[in-house]
Structure 1
Amino acid sequence: MKENLDGSHAVVIDDRRRLSGRGAWLHPQPACMEQALKRGAFNRAFRGQVETRDVEDRLHALKEASLGSHPKQTVLPESGSEN
């Protein structure tokens, strides 16, 4: 968690686990991040209102990456009955 210039607090993802200060551990899977955001877990863990933009951005990136590795099929293959 870091303090912004306006005095608010924001969650910062520390992949290397080296930043000082209060921390909260979370599985790096999108489902865990989504559930933590939905339930307000970061506000409870940090005992106050925190900005979660860093987590939301990471969740979005993970979802995009998973879509890229398994692209959804948008065009159905021909059944052969059109011939």
Structure 2
Amino acid sequence: MRERRTEVDGWVAIWEIDHWHIRIMLVRSLVGSARPLLKADVSGAVPDLADMRERYPNLARLWDAVRHEYWAEVITPQEHSEGTI
């Protein structure tokens, strides 16, 4: 899986697409050297976007940006696909 990076309002989320689910791997502030808000343990359960929205509703703009980037990637026409007329 390929990691994606989304930054909004001084926060960064590192996430991956896992079988059509958005898995959040890391969330941290870009200001200062604070510990990450979340650092997923790959061997354990990795939260999805819905989990993170519930746990951290104050980061709604970050979650919206992740969702936007996800859909932009998922619905982008494939290089060799034929469009409909």
TM-score by length of 1: 0.39
Larger Rg: 1
Q: Which has the higher helix share?
A: 1
Determine which structure has greater relative contact order: mean sequence separation of CA pairs < 8 Å that are 6+ residues apart, divided by chain length: 1
